[in-house]
Amino acid sequence: MKSYSENLPPDFRVSYSLFSAEEGGRKTPHFQHIRWDFSYEEESIAEGNKLFMIWPEFITPLGEMLPEGEPMPQNGLADMFILNNALREFHSQHIKPGVRGYFREGSRKIGVCEIIEIIALYQNPKS
Q: Is the residue at 60 inside a domain?
A: yes
Residue 51 has what pLDDT?
76
CA 64 vs CA 19, 46, 59: distances in Å: 23, 31, 5
CA distance 29 to 13: 22
Q: Is the residue at 86 inside a domain?
A: yes
Q: Is the residue at 91 inside a domain?
A: yes
Whether the Cβ atoms of residue 25 and residue 36 lie closer than 8 Å to each other: no
Query: Considering its fold, how many domains does the chain have in total?
Result: 1
Residue 86 has what pLDDT?
87
* pTM of the predicted model as reported, rounded to 2 decimal places: 0.88
**Burial degree of 11 (CB within 10 A; 0-12, 13-18, 19+):** buried
3-state class (DSSP) for residue 74: coil
- pLDDT at 127 exceeding the cut of 60: no
Structural domain including 87 reads: 12-118
CA distance 88 to 125: 9
Q: Read off the CATH number of the domain in which 68 is found.
A: 2.40.30.10
- pLDDT at 2 exceeding the cut of 70: no
Instruction: Give the mean pLDDT of 104-123.
Output: 92
Is 126 or 117 the better-scoring residue by pLDDT? 117
Could you read off the pLDDT of 66-93 as tens digits, one per residue? 988 777 899 999 999 998 888 889 899 9
- Confidence band of 114 (pLDDT split at 50, 70, 90): very high
Q: Is the residue at 66 inside a domain?
A: yes
Whether the Cβ atoms of residue 104 and residue 26 lie closer than 8 Å to each other: no
Q: Is the residue at 125 inside a domain?
A: no
Residue 28 has what pLDDT?
87
Q: Is the residue at 64 inside a domain?
A: yes
CA distance 94 to 70: 32
Could you read off the pLDDT of 17-62 as tens digits, one per residue? 999 999 988 888 888 888 888 999 887 766 666 778 899 999 999 9
